[in-house]
Amino acid sequence: MIEIVARSDTMGRLLRHMRATAQSDKPTLLLGASGSGRSFLGREIHQMSPRKDKPLVEISCMEPLLWERLIASAERARGGTLLVTDLDRLDEHGQRELRCLLAKCSAWDRPPRLISTALPDLEVLAKRRLFMRSLYDQVAVLRHRIPSLRERLDDLPELCRLLLTKHSRTENRAPTALLPDGLAALRHHAWPGNVRELSNILLQALLCSDPIDGEAITAMLSANTTPDEVLLPIGTTLAAAEQALVLATLHASRGNKQNTASRLGITRRTLYLKLARYKQLGLYQASRRKPAPASGHGRKRTNTPV
């Protein structure tokens, strides 16, 4: 069983709130970015609830929500939990069908408890009338916002340990150590794909490096991002966004600080001051390799605990 990692204050608060709302039968909405563990946490709320011994039935809005499928799923979930995922993908017809289902279930003697998941912008869609406001108010009686991985970096060491243990077991390999500079390299990344992206990166590193050092992690991250983009999830602080941009530009410049400063439009002294601050915070570790000559272009790159 995968555990919820809650070493960070942000996840600690979320876990406490989840335990409290798990005791309720009210509809609950989990809002979070892709890869943040929305469905996993929905299942955990069911396991924390008095309904844990009753059925948990999942239905995805990535597929058309037909009435026959909806009513059959709700019937199977009687007395338990109906988990509706990717609610933001629901079209207008599906929204009407789900609203009718909720009205029908309210008359049952043992209705299922509804838990839904969606991207964070669902409330904005409802305010703009792009999602049925009455349905939103029905499914969002209780709400939880799931933090992005960038907001819970204190959880990173434990997440890495659990994910590497899991991948070692599924790949039938001996456990591999993640070295301190490898962990530092992970902290530099903006993690637009959240925990799912972290899991994929660690799996690739596990298969290619023993132990896993900073150079291996940097190579894995480079292979999974385009050379001229920095992807930042909504909610990234300005300080974290600046750090991600500076370090990504430094990496794309192959460690050449003069080229990095020029591309960022700052002086070399300003860049050194920023890197010194990142190093002091444990967010940056200078490469041991001799920097490559300056170039106007970066190298061409080839393109779930919670």
Mean pLDDT rounded to a whole number for the chain: 86
Amino acid in position 196:
R
How does DSSP classify residue 55? Answer: -
Superfamily grouping for domain 9-147: P-loop containing nucleotide triphosphate hydrolases (3.40.50.300)
Q: What are 275-278's contacts with CB under 8 Å, separation 24+?
A: 275/246, 275/250, 278/243, 278/246, 278/247
Q: Please report which confidence band the pLDDT of residue 220 belongs to, taking 50, 70 and 90 as the band edges.
A: confident
Q: Please report the pLDDT score of residue 193 as a whole number.
A: 87
Whether residue 213 contacts residue 179, with contact meaning beta carbons closer than 8 Å, is answered with yes
Structure tokens of 299?
């190298």
Domain 152-280 has CATH 1.10.8.60: yes
Q: Please report which confidence band the pLDDT of residue 232 belongs to, taking 50, 70 and 90 as the band edges.
A: low
Starting at the earlier edge strand, list the strands of the sheet with 113-118.
56-60, 81-85, 113-118, 28-31, 142-145
Closest CA to 230 of 249, 256, 216, 217: 249
Write the pLDDT tens digit of every residue in 40-52: 999 999 999 999 9
Q: Please report the pLDDT score of residue 38 as a whole number.
A: 95
In whole angstroms, what is the distance from residue 211 CA to residue 304 CA? 21
Write the pLDDT tens digit of every residue in 255-288: 888 889 888 999 989 998 888 887 776 566 665 4
Closest CA to 268 of 277, 257, 276, 253: 257
In whole angstroms, what is the distance from residue 274 CA to residue 224 CA? 26
Average pLDDT of the residues in 158-167: 94
In whole angstroms, what is the distance from residue 33 CA to residue 146 CA? 8
Write the pLDDT tens digit of every residue in 55-85: 999 999 988 888 999 999 999 999 999 999 9
Give CATH 3.40.50.300 domain extents, the chain. 9-147
In whole angstroms, what is the distance from residue 255 CA to residue 272 CA? 12
> Helical H runs in the chain?
9-21, 38-48, 67-76, 92-105, 122-127, 133-139, 156-170, 180-188, 194-208, 214-223, 238-252, 257-264, 268-280
In whole angstroms, what is the distance from residue 4 CA to residue 26 CA? 23
Instruction: Return phi, psi of residue 59, to 5°.
Output: -140, 135
Q: Please report the pLDDT score of residue 288 as a whole number.
A: 47
Give CATH 1.10.8.60 domain extents, the chain. 152-280
CA distances from 69 to 79, 85, 101 (A): 18, 14, 11
In whole angstroms, what is the distance from residue 95 CA to residue 88 CA? 10
